[in-house]
Amino acid sequence: MPLATHPTHQRRCGWNAWLPSRTPRPSLVGPERADVVIVGAGYTGVAAALAWHRQRPGDRILLLEADQVGEGSPGRNSGFMLEVALANDAHPDELARMSQLNALSRQTMATLRQRVEELGGDCQLQHSGTYRAARSDVGRRSLAQYRGFLDAAKLRYKGLNQGELVERLGTEYYLEGLYSPDCYLVQPAALIRTLVEGLPAGVELYEQTAVRDIIADGSDWRVSTAQGEVRAPCVLLANNAFSRALGADTSRLVAIYTYAALTEPLPEQHRLRIAREPWGLLPAHRLGCTLRTTEDGRLMIRSRYSYEREADNDRIEAELKASLEARYPELAPIRFESLWGGTTGLTYNGAPLWGEIAPGLHVSAGCNGGGIVKGTYLGDALARRAMGLEVEDVQALFGTASWMPPEPLRRLGFHIKSRMERRKAISET
C-alpha cells in the first residue's frame, strides 16, 4: 500500500472544537519561488520557520500545512510539556547524555514559555508536574525502573502510596505512584494556534495545502501541492511520519495513531474531589492511559494505539469509556464531549530521524510521544543546520533512529508485540 502523504482524521479535534473558530489562511495556488519551503506547521515546522527568519529575515519562507492550524496532529495531543527527557535507562553511559538532554529540554521549555508569554495567547499553560502510577505487577516493575532512572539522574520526585494517590487524584485504582515536578500542562490546540499566529509576517503560511510530491530539478526542489507548486533550493520536511512519502527514510519511522477523549465538565461534587487542582498522569507502562484535568474541570483520557491507520473511533470510544470507568466508577453517567485520534512518528529506539537526506532536502521527524518540547528544539536545530550554522551534535545527543524490518514483517512484529504486552499489562490500559 502506498504511504499517505498527510494525515486524515475521522473526528474533529476536541481541544480545537473548544476554541473560538478562526479563518484559515489561504491554500497555495499557482507557481511560486521561495528561498526555503517548510512542510508542516507543527512544533518542528514552526520552530524551523522562526529560526530561519531570525537568521535570514530577508528570505522568502513558505510554510505549507496540510490541515487547518489547531485541527491537525499538533493540536491533538495531551498537552504534557516535559522538561526532562523520557527514559527508563539508568545505565551509567546513558546518564551523561541524559543530563545534557535534560538541560536542553529545560532550556527549550523556558524559551517556549517566554514565547507564549510574549505572544499573549491563552494557552492554559500551567506548571503542574506529572504523576506516574501503576496497578499491576508489570506496571509496578516499569515504575520501579523509572524510579531507578530518576535516582541515577538525580532528578527530583516523591514516591506515593495508594492513599496519597487517592487524596491527589481521587481514584483508588492505582496502588503505587510518584510525582515529579518537571512538567507543564497546556491546551495543545491553543498552543499551536498561538505559535503559528505569532510567526513574523516574513513567514508565509498556506493552510489546507498538503505537499504531494517533491522532485529534484537542477539545483532546486520542486514542491507540488493540489493547486500549486513552489521551487526552492532548500526544503525542510517537518511533517513527522508523513515525511516518508516525500523522501525520508522509510526503514526507520512508522506512523502510530493514539486516541484521546474529553469528558463534559464534571459536576461540582466530582470536580471538588477529582479536579480540585490541575494535574496530569502519564502511564508507568507504555500501554497505559494518560489522564489529566483541564482548566474548566474536565478529565481527558488518552490510550490505545493503532499501526499506520486510524482505528474505528466508535470502538475506541467504548474502550476509553471502560478505562475511565475502571478508574472512576462514579463517572459512569458522565459522557465524552469529544473523542479523536492523532498521529505520531515513532522510531524503534526513540531517536529522531534528523538531518540532510539529499543536498538541500532535510528532515526532522519521529519525536515519539514527547514532541512539543523535543520537536521545538529539533526544528530550530534543523533550520540552523540547513543554513550551514554551527549546531550541537544532534546524533550524539539523541542517537540515530534504528532500522526496522520491512513490511509485512514490521506490521506483524508490531501486532504480536503489542498483543503480548497488552495481555500482561491489561489493567494498565
Ligand X SMILES: Cc1cc2nc3c(=O)[nH]c(=O)nc-3n(C[C@H](O)[C@H](O)[C@H](O)COP(=O)(O)OP(=O)(O)OC[C@H]3O[C@@H](n4cnc5c(N)ncnc54)[C@H](O)[C@@H]3O)c2cc1C
Q: Which is nearer to ligand X, 246 or 270 (CB)?
A: 246
Report the Cα 383 to chain-centroid distance in Å: 20
Minimum separation from the CB atom of position 216 to ligand X (A): 17
Phi/psi zone of residue 170: left (φ > 0), alpha (ψ -120 to 50 degrees), beta? left
Which grid coordinates belong to 131? Answer: 504523576
Which grid coordinates belong to 168? Answer: 491527589
CA atoms within 13 A on the CB side of 247: 25
Minimum separation from the CB atom of position 163 to ligand X (A): 27
Which of 389, 403, 384, 373 shows the shortest CA–CA distance to 43?
A: 373
Q: Which is nearer to ligand X, 210 or 270 (CB)?
A: 210
- Chain residues binding ligand X by CB under 6 A are 5-7, 39-45, 64-67, 72-74, 76-80, 210-211, 238-240, 242, 258, 260, 302, 342-344, 367, 369-372, 375
Minimum separation from the CB atom of position 290 to ligand X (A): 7
Residue 333 carries which DSSP code? T
Q: Which is nearer to ligand X, 177 or 371 (CB)?
A: 371
Distance CA(114)–CA(189), nearest Å, equals 18
Which grid coordinates belong to 63? Answer: 510554510
Minimum separation from the CB atom of position 369 to ligand X (A): 5
Minimum separation from the CB atom of position 86 to ligand X (A): 9
Beta strands in 59-186 (DSSP E): 61-64, 80-82, 126-127, 130-134, 158-161, 176-180, 183-185
β-bridge partners, 255: 345
Cell 491554500 -> residue: 27
Q: Which is nearer to ligand X, 194 or 239 (CB)?
A: 239
Q: Which is nearer to ligand X, 78 or 102 (CB)?
A: 78
Minimum separation from the CB atom of position 376 to ligand X (A): 8
Which grid coordinates belong to 425? Answer: 499489562
Which grid coordinates belong to 104? Answer: 536542553
Q: Which is nearer to ligand X, 121 or 370 (CB)?
A: 370
Phi/psi zone of residue 264: left (φ > 0), alpha (ψ -120 to 50 degrees), beta? beta
Q: Which is nearer to ligand X, 211 or 334 (CB)?
A: 211
Minimum separation from the CB atom of position 7 to ligand X (A): 6
Q: Which residue is nearest to ligand X (CB)?
A: 371
Residues of 102-119 as b/e, b for ≥16 C-beta within 10 angstroms?
Answer: bebbeebbeebbebbeee
Minimum separation from the CB atom of position 92 to ligand X (A): 27
Q: Which is nearer to ligand X, 282 or 425 (CB)?
A: 282
Minimum separation from the CB atom of position 309 to ligand X (A): 14
β-bridge partners, 38: 63, 236
Q: Which is nearer to ligand X, 79 or 270 (CB)?
A: 79
Distance CA(182)–CA(166), nearest Å, equals 21
